[in-house]
Chains A and B, each alone.
Chain A
Amino acid sequence: MSEQLTVPTMAEFMAQGKQPEVLFWVGCAGSFDDRAKKITKAFVRILNKANIDFAVLGAEESCTGDPAKRSGNEFLFQMQAVTNIEVLNAYEVKKIVTACPHCFNTLKNEYPGLGGNYDVVHHTQFLKGLLDDGRMTIEGGQFKGKRITFHDPCYLGRANNVYEAPRDLIRKLDAELVEMKSCKSRGLCCGAGGAQMFKEPEKGNKDINIERTEQALDTKPQIIAAGCPFCNTMMTDGIKGKEKEGEVEVMDIAELIANAQDL
């Protein structure tokens, strides 16, 4: 598939002596994970459609250090952070948007103490902002009346108290937003956080993503909406484990909106 995405880099902007409105921090999952790349592209399609002046770091981006920090490797985290901050500060970045709550949390909360001060927003907040400013419109389209449940990413919800932006966007799709038994501040983790994504779980009687998928399936959804590439993977695996791939889809909020706009 060779679609035309406009994805300028910071280096290109700088060469022209310009600053983009916002830096899109793609993140490792968004750059390399096949499922997450689709989220990245969906978000870019929305940005292109809305004519947003954005840029990415491309090959100058590196892991924020989040999984290293949550594993206990403070040294590796700070090495990553300080290196990234040097790049970001050299480009005089002011505003960052990212579709990964882990990058979001780290950039927003843990970089300032190391000299990186930016206005960091999650892509659901950014999209909500575009909507509120009239720079983007959403119509229900194909999602009208569909049952959608939203899985709160821990690092977006509890960690940073962002509960409403993703929900507001789902409501704009004229979809029926249904809440799980544990939601918002009591949302159950998908099982990937704290670097669990990169290791086998400890011995127990169930995998966390299965528990969470069961909670989601209890709401009889047609779509499980997510706002994090790792949650997306965990919930997708859960749905496969429950053999419900035919009935329930796991989609990022950006994908919902891009699809609703027929992008």
Chain B
Amino acid sequence: MEYLPNILFAIALVLGIGYFANNVRKLIRNIKLGKDVDVSDNKPQRWKNMAYIALGQSKMVKRPIAGFLHVIVYIGFVIINIEVLEIIIDGLFGTHRIGHQVLPESIYGFLIGSFEILAVLVLVAVIIFWLRRNVIKLKRFMKDEMKGWPKSDGNIILYFEVVLMCLFLVMNATDTVFQGYNSGNIISQFIAPWFDGFSEATLHTIERTAWWLHIIGILVFLNYLYFSKHLHILLAFPNTYYGKLTPQGQFTNNEAVTKEVKLMMDPNVDPFAAPPEGAEAAMPEKFGASDVQDLSWVNLLNAYTCTECGRCTSECPANQTGKKLSPRKIMMDTRDRLEEVGKNIDANKGTFVDDGKQLLDNYITREELWACTSCNACVEACPVSIDPLNIIMEMRRYLVMEQSAAPTELNNMMTNIENNGAPWPYNQMDRLNWKNE
């Protein structure tokens, strides 16, 4: 019976990490449903982007208040998790505060002291975050796509963090051995007196309870990630690495179209000749995207990375002027549809069975797609290099090239370009008339 806590701990750890690993596998499988794109170029720049944008939070701080608070929570999260290492060792081997035994007292005290200060700072930041969402009601958190689950999700994450930080501080405050060191209890020494009247045994029970709830809370939170927008804490890193390196204005040229156009322009090609063997296969089955499988895997990684902060939407000119388009919704829809497709695959033993739905129309409406000015404000605003514009453009390509479903005025414009080389019905021979006017 002596080893019961150790065994229970090991089981909790294996279950927590195992279930998470299983979901990560699913996540990777779903992302790989996207089309392949070559992102193997310019590795030094990619590492640099990851270091600056994800690790260094360089784009977060463009909005100073949210940026500053986020940096606190981010540093808090990273550093306080060092403590988890000690908890895991203690839990598995039945030691108590192993760090104190292996590290010099001053270093251990310094570490725990900084964790305690950070815990308080995180608490303050998280409370301000909660106020911004629920009391101040910042506009970008109140948009249509933020109703229901996304709103709850945002708050649940904040509650998790409040509870975890409180448990950490209570655990330290009621740990009589730790308080006895009188080093590192920089915050908890002020909490300890709250428990003054308690017996040694009660204190121990509270301390153990807080300790267990803390580590179980962390494991539950870890597994909550997959079901939440909070996945960004992991995916921000690959996402910034695979982010666009070319100028924002540069859209990709579709290679299949290039082949076709070059063939048409080649005077040596016999237009009536039968296509050579395999030429059919070289053409993509469809142009553009109507569902998640038509998008690239980077688009899909983008969708899972989005944490619904809404900076894109608040910068979007269409959204600012009351149009339905919201770049954040484009990302959320893509993710939700991808999840639906993933569940479909799970339910059908590994193959996708047509469910009569798709990303276009069932999630993203044409009205949203046609409201985009392609101004790149959303791309610029994203703190983790998500590119909603790319998805919008892929879907427009589908609408125009597969369905000929452009708005009438755009069809007129394109007919003009085809016939006289300008979006308006003017004769190409008149292009230089301005010279003599």
- Interface size range on A against B: 35 or more
Q: Is the CB of B393 within 8 A of A206?
A: no
Q: Is the CB of B406 within 8 A of A159?
A: no
Determine the distance from Cα of A249 to Cα of B240 in the docked complex, in whole angstroms: 42
Taking chain B's interface residues, is the majority helix, strand, or loop, or is none over half, making it mixed? helix
B149 interface hit (Cβ, 8 Å): no
Q: B253 touches which one: A62, A108, A113 (CB < 8 A)?
A: A113
* Residues of chain B lying within 8 A (CB to CB) of residue A146: none
A31 interface hit (Cβ, 8 Å): yes
* Residues of chain B lying within 8 A (CB to CB) of residue A71: 396, 400, 406, 410, 413-414
Determine the distance from Cα of A158 to Cα of B376 in the docked complex, in whole angstroms: 7
Q: B262 touches which one: A5, A61, A82 (CB < 8 A)?
A: A82
Q: Is the CB of B249 within 8 A of A109?
A: yes
B248 interface hit (Cβ, 8 Å): yes
A129 interface hit (Cβ, 8 Å): no
* Residues of chain B lying within 8 A (CB to CB) of residue A68: 413-414, 417
Q: Give the residues from 363 to 384 in chain B that come closer than 8 angstroms, CB to CB, to chain A.
A: 367, 370-377, 379-381
Q: A76-B417, A194-B374, A208-B373 are in contact. Are A202 and B318 (CB under 8 A)?
A: yes
* Minimal beta-carbon separation of A217 from chain B (angstroms): 16
* Minimal beta-carbon separation of B157 from chain A (angstroms): 28
Mask for B212-252, Cβ within 8 A of A = 1, else 0?
00000000000000000000000000000000001111110
* Residues of chain B lying within 8 A (CB to CB) of residue A26: 431, 434
B254 interface hit (Cβ, 8 Å): yes
Determine the distance from Cα of A142 to Cα of B418 in the docked complex, in whole angstroms: 44
Q: Give the residues from 162 to 194 in chain A that come closer than 8 angstroms, CB to CB, to chain B.
A: 185-186, 188-189, 191-194
Q: Is the CB of A211 within 8 A of B247?
A: no
Q: B367 touches which one: A78, A86, A202, A208 (CB < 8 A)?
A: A202
Mask for A142-169, Cβ within 8 A of B = 1, else 0?
0000000000001100111100000000
* Residues of chain A lying within 8 A (CB to CB) of residue B262: 82
Q: Give the residues from 251 to 274 in chain B that come closer than 8 angstroms, CB to CB, to chain A.
A: 251, 253-254, 257-258, 260-262, 264-265
Determine the distance from Cα of A210 to Cα of B341 in the docked complex, in whole angstroms: 41
Residue of A nearest to B319 (CB): A204
A195 interface hit (Cβ, 8 Å): yes
Q: A63-B421, A110-B251, A208-B318 are in contact. Are A191 and B373 (CB under 8 A)?
A: yes
* Minimal beta-carbon separation of B190 from chain A (angstroms): 43
Total contacting residues, chain B, CB less than 8 A:
70
Determine the distance from Cα of A9 to Cα of B432 in the docked complex, in whole angstroms: 9
Determine the distance from Cα of A211 to Cα of B380 in the docked complex, in whole angstroms: 20
Q: Is the CB of B407 within 8 A of A62?
A: no
* Residues of chain A lying within 8 A (CB to CB) of residue B433: 31
A98 interface hit (Cβ, 8 Å): no
* Residues of chain B lying within 8 A (CB to CB) of residue A191: 317, 373
* Residues of chain B lying within 8 A (CB to CB) of residue A82: 261-262, 265
B139 interface hit (Cβ, 8 Å): no
Q: Give the residues from 386 to 437 in chain B that come closer than 8 angstroms, CB to CB, to chain A.
A: 393, 395-401, 406-407, 409-410, 412-414, 417-418, 421-424, 426, 428-437
B91 interface hit (Cβ, 8 Å): no
Q: Is the CB of B317 within 8 A of A74?
A: no
Q: Of A59, A73, A82, A114, which is in contact with the most chain B CB atoms at under 10 Å from its CB? A: A73
* Binding-face segment, B22-30, B36-44, B180-188, B320-328: B320-328
* Minimal beta-carbon separation of A208 from chain B (angstroms): 5
Q: Is the CB of A61 within 8 A of B431?
A: yes
* Residues of chain B lying within 8 A (CB to CB) of residue A189: 317, 373, 375, 377
* Residues of chain B lying within 8 A (CB to CB) of residue A220: none
* Residues of chain B lying within 8 A (CB to CB) of residue A212: 317
Determine the distance from Cα of A65 to Cα of B424 in the docked complex, in whole angstroms: 13
Determine the distance from Cα of A258 to Cα of B409 in the docked complex, in whole angstroms: 35
Q: Is the CB of A202 within 8 A of B436?
A: no
B288 interface hit (Cβ, 8 Å): yes
Mask for A33-58, Cβ within 8 A of B = 1, else 0?
10001001100000000000000111
* Residues of chain B lying within 8 A (CB to CB) of residue A69: 251
* Residues of chain B lying within 8 A (CB to CB) of residue A9: 432
Residue of B nearest to A33 (CB): B424
* Minimal beta-carbon separation of A1 from chain B (angstroms): 8
* Minimal beta-carbon separation of A115 from chain B (angstroms): 9
Q: For the complex of A and B, list the 10 residue pairs with the smallest distance between their C-beta atoms, beginning with the closest.
A: A159-B249, A72-B396, A194-B374, A205-B322, A62-B421, A204-B322, A109-B250, A189-B375, A72-B400, A199-B409
Q: A58-B431, A58-B432, A71-B410 are in contact. List 10 more A-B contacts (CB 8 A).
A: A31-B434, A33-B424, A68-B414, A72-B393, A74-B397, A79-B264, A154-B375, A158-B249, A158-B376, A207-B321
Would you mind naming 15 contact pairs between A and B with Cβ atoms under 8 Å apart?
Answer: A7-B432, A28-B422, A31-B432, A33-B424, A59-B430, A67-B423, A72-B393, A72-B400, A73-B401, A74-B401, A75-B260, A76-B418, A158-B379, A198-B423, A207-B321
